[in-house]
Amino acid sequence: MARRTGTRETILDRATDLFGVRGFEAVSLDQIAAEVGVAKQTLLYWFPSKDELIEQVLAATAAELAIVIEAAIRSAPDDPLDRVEAVVKAVFRPAVRRPALLGLVREISRLPSNASDALTTRVEPLVARAVEWMRSEMDNGRLRAGDPSIIVSLVYATVTGIATEPEALRAVGWRADIAGLRRLRDELVRFLRAALTP
C-alpha cells in the first residue's frame, strides 16, 4: 500500500501526542496502532520494542525543540530580556499547538534513569550554556541577580507548567481560543520580564 507520509513518521507523530498527554506507561502499543490505523506488529517492525519507540520519540522531540530554540536565539536582539522573550515565544507556539510536546519533556523524569541519561547528557551542554549566559548577564547588571542555575529552572518550570496544565487554566475560566492564547503568551512574557528585570 502506497504511503502518503512515511509510516515511521506517522507512528512517531501519534505516539508523541499520546505519550505526552497520557504518559508513557499509560499508552499501549495497541492504542497507538489503532490511532495510526495499522497493526500493532507494524509498530514493532519499525521500533523493535516499546522502549525503543519511547527513545525515538524523545529524540525527535528534543531535536525539534532544539532547532526552534536555536533559531530564536540566533535571530534575537542582544538585550537579555528580549532574548528570553524571543525564546519563550518560539517555544510557546509549537507547545500550545501540541501540548504533548512539553508534556513529553515532563514525562522524562518518570523514565528509568538509564533510559533518560542519554537524553540528559545530550541536553546538558545546552543547559550549561544557558546558565553561564544568565550568570554573565547578571554580573553585567542586565538581569536581576540570583542563583543562575535555579533561575533557569524556574523559568523552565513556569513555561512548561503553564503550557502543560490546561486544567489549571480551565479552573480560572481561561479559554483556548486565539485571543486567549495571545493573552496567555503576553501575560507569560510580562510575568517573566518582571521576574528577571534587575
Partner DNA sequence: ACAGTTCTCTACCAAATGGTAGAGAAAGGT
Partner DNA sequence: ACCTTTCTCTACCATTTGGTAGAGAACTGT
Residue ranges in contact with DNA by CB under 7 A: 1-3, 7, 27-31, 38-42, 44-46, 48-51
Does residue number 19 form part of the binding site for its own copies (CB under 8 A)? no
**Residue 39 interface partner, choices its own copies, DNA, none, CB cut-off 5-8 Å depending on type:** DNA
| Least distance to DNA, CB of residue 42, Å | 4
Query: Nearer Cβ to DNA, position 28 or 197?
Result: 28
Q: Which option in DNA, its own copies, none does residue 146 bind, with CB closer than 5 to 8 A by kind?
A: its own copies
- Whose CA is closest to 159, among 97, 77, 85, 79? 85
Torsion, Cα of 54, 58, 59, 64 (10° steps) = 140
Interface with its own copies includes 136 (CB under 8 A)?
no
* Nine cell digits for residue 125: 551542554
CA dist., res. 51 & res. 72, Å (int): 32
Binds its own copies by CB under 8 A, chosen from 7, 8, 10, 21: 21
Alpha helices in 37-165 (DSSP H): 40-46, 50-74, 80-97, 100-107, 113-140, 148-164
191: number of Cβ within 10 Å: 13
CB of 41 to its own copies, least distance (A): 24
List the one residue from 56, 76, 149, 181 that touches its own copies (CB under 8 A): 149
Which option in DNA, its own copies, none does residue 129 bind, with CB closer than 5 to 8 A by kind? none
Q: What is the CA radius of gyration of the chain?
A: 19
Cell numbers 532544539 correspond to what residue?
A: 66
Rounded Cα–Cα distance for residues 59 and 117 (Å): 12
Q: Which does 69 bind (CB under 5 to 8 A by kind): DNA, its own copies, none?
A: none
Cβ neighbours, 10 Å, residue 164: 21
Which residues ranging from 83 to 112 are in contact with its own copies (CB under 8 A)? 106, 108-110
Of 34, 79, 120, 140, the one binding its own copies by CB under 8 A? 120
